Amino acid sequence: MKLPRPPQFDDIADKEFRTDIILLDIIEYTLLPNERQYQCLYYLDKILRTVTGLLEVRSMVRGESVIRGSVPNGDGSYFILNPRIAGYGPLLALFLRNFLLFNNRFLDNLFDGVRTSVHHGAVIPISFMGTSNFVGEGLNVCARLIGRPVPAKARRFYDDDGNFVAVSEPAWEAFTTLFPPDKPEVQAYLEKIQFLHSRPVYIRDKHAHVPGYRLRFIDSAKLIGSAPPRAKEPALAS
């Protein structure tokens, strides 16, 4: 059987869009027994439904999904945000990481830890075996941010158990565009959650021919319990 000619980029360019992508990596997930793997995804689903419902109320996407889709990836999953709320990625990543760690103590230490990365980049939706999926460099960058050692000058943002939130430079720009740090209401919120960020650091890619990445590590109080200020304009969405 002769396969059809694959579509050229010009044929699919109109499907591509830029948004925030979050990669949530549960440390040593694939080493867990089946029951614990199931429980991890069960609780992650409950948490996502809670936080996305909150964002639907607090943001500009009422009647739309906050998360456009997810892509499983070994120890975790990518989450593709609605481009209308690009810029929420870092706060959502912090919420997910902190909420999972907070509740882990009540779940008999279901997992060893959680690492997350956030990037603002291009994705392309595609149907694979009848199921919605996504491809694109945005997902690849997220994986590379998690896969490299944390620079020494950012170690204060890296817990002893391996938990961290890494934010690429494009994702940081989207975040500070949606939530300008000089606005009083944004300053008040960030102080309330004890938001911290490292200076920009540079990491090399394991592939010599691939450029490295500038990123920041962020942290906050271990549980973000309140909604961020309402954003007035979408950030960098296209």
What confidence tens digit (pLDDT) does each residue in 161-176 have?
Answer: 578 899 999 999 999 9
pLDDT, tens digit, 9 for 90 and up, residues 3-34: 566 666 556 667 889 999 999 988 888 888 89
173-186: average pLDDT: 91
Instruction: Show the domains of the chain with their CATH numbers.
Output: 14-219 (3.30.70.1230)
Can you read off the two tokens belonging to residue 55? 């964002």
| Distance of alpha carbon 48 from alpha carbon 165, whole angstroms | 17
Can you tell me the mean pLDDT for 116-133? 86
Cβ distance 126 to 135 under 8 Å?
yes
Using pLDDT thresholds of 50, 70 and 90, give the confidence band for residue 236. Answer: very low
pLDDT score, position 143: 86
CA 107, 109, 112, 115 torsion-angle sign:
positive
Residues 219, 154: contact at Cβ < 8 Å? no
pLDDT at residue 111 in the model: 78
Share above pLDDT 70 across residues of the chain, in percent, rounded to a whole number: 74
pTM of the model: 0.83
Confidence of residue 106 (pLDDT cuts 50, 70, 90): confident
Q: Are the CB atoms for 146 and 166 separated by under 8 Å?
A: yes
Asked which of 47-56, 198-207, 222-231 is least confident by mean pLDDT, the reply is 222-231
- What one-character-per-residue DSSP string does 3-43 give? PPPPPPHHHHGGG-EEEEEEEEEETTGGGS-HHHHHHHHHH
pLDDT of 160 above 60: no
pLDDT of residue 235: 45
More confident residue, 158 or 40: 40
**Two tokens at 191?**
């102080």
Instruction: Provide the mean pLDDT of the chain.
Output: 79
